[in-house]
Structure 1
Amino acid sequence: MLLAAAIAGAILGFASSITRAQTVYIPEGGANSVLVVDGASGSTIARIEGLEAVHGLSGATVSGVLVAGSFVETDKSVEAPASVSADEHAAHHGATEKPVGPAGAGGSILSIVDRVSERIIRRIEVPGAVHHTAMSPDGRYAVATHPGADGISIIDLISYKVVGWVSTGPMPNYAIIDETSKTAFVSNSGNGTVSEVDLERAFVRRNMLAGDAPEHMARRSGTGTLYVADSGTGRVFELDVKTGAILRSFAIDSEIHGLDLSDDGKSLLVAVTGSDAVAVINLNSGSVAKYPLGPEPYHVTKITGSGQVLVSSRANPEVWVIDISSGKAVKKLQLAGIGHQMVVVR
């Protein structure tokens, strides 16, 4: 327990040991890499290699690591990264550990990346291809969604082990962990629900209805409000997580994908993949404005404190920097592959 407390303290103190500038991490899919970008200047800092088919990516300001998920299954056994000794690797991947997840599920890899050295320090086998990941604000837990296995895995970021499996529903897509770091919300695109998951006990507390095929989500901190992009109906649903009720829905009338909130919580930016646009929803008035952007806007991630969001393209290896107030692109970043779940941390 003392060791765990010491490690947890080191995680929580990480923010004070690194530069406080915004750093952007962009997974490059088939390029098997993550691009590291300075959030202020937009200049490339580094590229983290060796992350096969990286799609899901998450991090937290207090944590010294990123969690990267591979969107392909593999039959290979987990190999130790070059920076990890054989004894240390064996200690984290003992042969006597029971498999976690449904019987017959394929295997995939979650990679733990050290943010300072930008090296892979652990590879963890998980049950099934990883779509998206989420990290708790306190840096203790990570969650990975597995659409092919109809559930999520829960990873302890102190022991670097899979400590739980939760069957949330058909085709779980996206996950968000709330500010308590004890609850995850998971969209299930196969049955139109969002699951509320207890991370410590690894079970679904309840399911909430959210359209036909809910995918990406954004949470408004301190309000108990969750915004869910429904690719099946081209609508964004505003959920009250306390009651599970749909408070409002916003019609985009085209295929939508990623979304994120402005810093002040007054605007919601939505990638309108089906009609090459970005939609800005005024959450006070409920009005929706669309601005041309293309081809095929995809993932959306805000750069906290800048008044800007990042929007990747599903068609081309590029990311636009969008001014939230005007909805216009102010910069474009070139990638080595399609940009997926982007992360911005200090």
Structure 2
Amino acid sequence: MRTLFLAPLIMLSACSTTAEPLRYGTSADMLVVGNKSEDTVSFIDLDTGAELARLATGSNPHEIAVSPDGETVAVVHYGGKSVELFDAEDPASIRTIDLGDNEGPHGIVWASNDRLIITTERSQSLTIVDLEDDSVRAIPTGQQVSHMVALTPDEETAFVANMGSGTVSVIDLKTGSKVRDIAAGDTPEGIAVSPTGKALWVADRDNATLIQFEIPTYREIRRYETGNFPIRVAVSPDGKRVVTSNYADGSLTVIDTDKAPQTIAVSGTQEAGQVTILFAEDGRHLFVAETGRAQVALVDLDTGEVVTRFDAGAGSDGLALAD
């Protein structure tokens, strides 16, 4: 049986003391954080900023995906070969799904037809879990370190960033087969697709570069310089902003269609261990996981300021917004 750790319902010192709900540009009620260094998941109330619960999970919980209704979250066990489902409304573990021979689950997307699309890095594959019956099937990438995944808006194509091979695999989810591999620098890791489905964004972390590809030709359109070691990419809901999370200097690089690229310092140091980034619905506020601080920063991209920080657990990394 898993243990539920209830935190005191005390407002974080960095949060506003107003009695009004603190939504931070999102209609979600809950911020869910995977604490990879202590094998737990934090559930943080966005109305108060308080950590309501911290639940034990499997080995090395990394990326997180939320169900279309916002009520259930899936957390990968990167240190093993399973994925765990949690109830967000009344935080509790629902069940754990064994991925069979597919090891090292990391990147994850929850598709609208209740399928989990998961990179299984150590097996060089993309694993599909059908939540109707928890059946599992894998599509080989044949590439090294298949780490992160992104889908087109129609959910017919998946893109897998292969850090060890310097490629992005294009996967046809209708046929369950790999279409091709795209050369994408030396160490492509962060990856995202525009809301229109016309642009693929890939961060080549060792070369501090963000590459834009055209979909479906996969022709390279442009390269942007970023901060040091861009480890994640996120696109705003309206598609007007593309942001990289720069691990080595604790900053964000913001590519705005209406402005010149800019850099925003979050912590300004590598010690913060900045990794995952997640947009709020307003496209203005960005949640930024700082693994070295056991916190999640909230950044206002319009002002370039850190609005507040939420306390989480050791190695706070994967992020999701839930109801």
Query: TM class by shorter-chain length?
Result: 0.7 to 0.9
**Alignment partner of 1:110 is 2:121:** no
More strand per residue: 2
Partner of residue 50, structure 1: 57
Alignment of 1:267-278 (within 5 A): 267-278=241-252
Partner of 1:121: 94
Where does residue 241 of structure 1 map in the other structure? Answer: 215
Residue by residue over 1:2-34, the C-alpha shift from the partner in whole angstroms, topping out at 9 and shown as x without a partner, is xxxxxxxxxxxxxxxxxx634221111122221
Amino acid at match of 2:214: D
Please tell me whether the aligned partners of residues 217 and 228 of structure 1 are also in contact (alpha carbons under 8 angstroms): yes
Which of residues 221, 224, 231 in structure 1 aligns to 2:195? Answer: 221
**Of residues 17, 32, 53 in structure 2, which corresponds to 1:25?**
32
Corresponding position of 1:163: 137
Aligned partners of 1:41, 1:324: CA distance in 2, in Å? Answer: 22
> Residues 34 and 49 of structure 1 are in contact (CA less than 8 Å); yes or no, is this contact kept in structure 2?
yes
Letter in 2 for 1:247: I
Letter in 1 for 2:196: G
Separation in structure 1 between the aligned mates of residue 191 and residue 28 of structure 2, nearest angstrom? 26
Indicate the larger mover: 232-241 or 272-281: 272-281
**Alignment check: 8 A CA contact 1:61 1:345 kept:** no
Correspondent of 2:118 among 144, 167, 179: 144
**Which secondary structure does the structure 1 equivalent of 2:230 belong to?**
coil
- For 1:71, the equivalent position in structure 2 comes to 78
CA deviation string 1:60-106 (max 9, x = no partner): 33364322111213xxxxxxxxxxxxxxxxxxxxxxxxxxxxxxxxx
Mapped to 2, the partners of 1:30 and 1:253 lie a distance apart of 25
Report the residue type matching 1:26 in the other structure.
Answer: V
Distance 1:195 1:284 in 2: 31
Identity over aligned residues, as a percent?
18
Residues 284 and 305 (structure 1 numbering): CA distance in 2 closer, same or farther, change over 3 Å? closer
Asked if 1:288 corresponds to 2:274, the answer is no
Deviation at 1:287, TM superposition (A): 2.4
Greater RCO, 1 or 2 (C-alpha within 8 Å, sep 6+): 2
Measured in 2, the distance between the counterparts of 1:205 and 1:246 equals 17
How many residue pairs are counted as aligned between the two chains? 292
| Amino acid of the structure 2 residue aligned with 1:135 | W
> 1:170 offset after TM fit, Å?
1.2
What RMSD in Å do the two structures reach over aligned CA positions? 2.1
Alpha carbons 2:153, 2:197 under 8 Å: kept: no
Pick aligned residue for 1:183 from 126, 141, 157: 157
For 1:132, what is the secondary structure of its paired residue? strand
Aligned residue for 2:108? 133
| Match for residue 204 of structure 1 among 158, 171, 178 | 178
Rounded Cα–Cα distance in structure 2 between residues aligned with 1:202 and 1:185: 13
1:328 and 2:301 matched: no
Amino acid at match of 1:33: T
Give how far 1:56 is off: 2.0
Contact kept? 1:229, 1:235, Cα under 8 Å = yes
Structure 2 unaligned runs (5+)?
1-26
Shift of 1:296: 3.3
Unaligned runs of 5+ in 1: 1-19, 74-107
| d(CA) in 2 for partners of 1:70, 1:340 | 13
Q: Is the 8 A contact 1:166 1:202 kept in 2?
A: no
d(CA) in 2 for partners of 1:304, 1:66: 18
Could you say what secondary structure the match of 1:42 adopts?
Answer: coil
